[in-house]
Amino acid sequence: MKLLLGRELAGYIKERQANAVRALTLDGIVPKLAIIKTVDNPAIGLYVRLKKQYALDIGAVVDIHNIDQKDVPDLLKKLNPDKGIHGIIIQLPLADPSETDELVNLVSPQKDVDALGKDAVFEPATPMAILWLLSGFNIDLTGKKVVLIGRGKLVGAPLEKILSASGVDVLVADSTTKDVAAMTKEADIIITATGKPAILTSDMIKPGAVVVDAGVASEDGKTVGDVDTQVFEREDITITPQKGGVGPLTICALFDNVIRAAENSRKK
């Protein structure tokens, strides 16, 4: 088994970002990210803490706003015009997911570092992280059968759009797909992002395949991915580890957007 260790690549990116933040700080600009959090669960709590720590490591700042969902519009009215804040994210999922589109579209496009709004100017972080990971380990998508499981707002839908625009032939399995296994058994590369534990099992993966698990779910108080644990017993595949795969690079990609937003504010 070959492991796609995102945390190995993250170290190089982190160093580059720390240098960029130092340069901005000399100009009196400290990159700042505001995270709006409306739900308490272990997976969300972990990711918010990781983002805050990452910011500290590169010299940036994270403000966390724990509020009720109904108060999000009023908070955004304060954060959007605040010149000291360069990035704003509404941590998903929301308590009432039906309001997701409405609320993310209230974030200023120039500060929408999660790229969830319809007018976002940045690339979304997790799809960027997946592409960085594949590129970093010299996995070429050209001419390969690529299957993407999940068409969610954060990962699946934007990644499908980016891959298709790059000329990659990608098949997408979503909640309406009747036989996901028939698709994955033919795939050279499988990317899964559903947040449903063990949705991808060993019998669904052909020998020599590459598997990228970008799913995040909470099971028995632990954060888990989409791939069944038995898959990690195989020696004939290339796969992201259970920890330290896409996650570290997602945070890197998010802060790449925050730093770019801060640099854009300097130009203005």
What are the tens digits of pLDDT across the range 109-141? 999 999 999 999 999 999 999 999 999 999 999
- Residue 29: give the domain boundaries: 24-110
Do 236 and 139 lie in one domain? The reply is yes
Is residue 7 in some structural domain? no
Strands in the chain per DSSP E: 2-3, 32-37, 61-66, 87-90, 146-149, 170-173, 189-192, 210-213, 217-219, 222-224, 238-239
Do 133 and 232 lie in one domain? The reply is yes
Beta bridge partners of 255: none
Model pLDDT for residues 186-218, shown as the tens digit of each residue? 999 999 999 899 999 999 999 999 999 999 876
What residues in the chain have per-residue pLDDT under 70?
Answer: 218, 221, 268
Do 147 and 182 lie in one domain? The reply is yes
Q: What integer pLDDT is reported at residue 41 of this predicted model?
A: 82
Do 61 and 149 lie in one domain? The reply is no
Is residue 268 in some structural domain? no
Q: What integer pLDDT is reported at residue 95 of this predicted model?
A: 87
Do 75 and 135 lie in one domain? The reply is no
Question: What are residue 267's phi and psi, to 5 degrees?
Answer: -60, -35
Question: Tokens 């499981």, residue?
Answer: 149
What total of structural domains would you count in the chain? 2
Is residue 151 in some structural domain? yes
Q: What integer pLDDT is reported at residue 268 of this predicted model?
A: 65
Is residue 167 in some structural domain? yes
Mean pLDDT of the chain: 94
Six-digit token string for 91: 């941590």
**Residue 265: CB atoms within 10 Å:** 17
Do 186 and 83 lie in one domain? The reply is no
Residues 188 and 115: their CA atoms lie apart, in Å, by 29
State which amino acid sits at residue 208: G
CATH number of the domain residue 226 falls in: 3.40.50.720
State which amino acid sits at residue 187: A
Do 99 and 39 lie in one domain? The reply is yes
Residue 249's nearest CA partner among 224, 198, 212 is 212
Q: What integer pLDDT is reported at residue 1 of this predicted model?
A: 86
CA angle 174, 140, 155 (to 5 degrees): 30
Entry pTM: 0.89
Indicate the DSSP class of residue 227: B
Is residue 209 in some structural domain? yes
Q: What integer pLDDT is reported at residue 55 of this predicted model?
A: 97
Residues 162 and 149: their CA atoms lie apart, in Å, by 15
Model pLDDT for residues 16-27, shown as the tens digit of each residue? 999 999 999 999
Q: What integer pLDDT is reported at residue 92 of this predicted model?
A: 87
Is residue 163 in some structural domain? yes
Q: What crossing angle do the helices spanning 42-58 and 6-26 adopt, rounded to 10°?
A: 50
Contact between 209 and 1 (Cβ < 8 Å): no
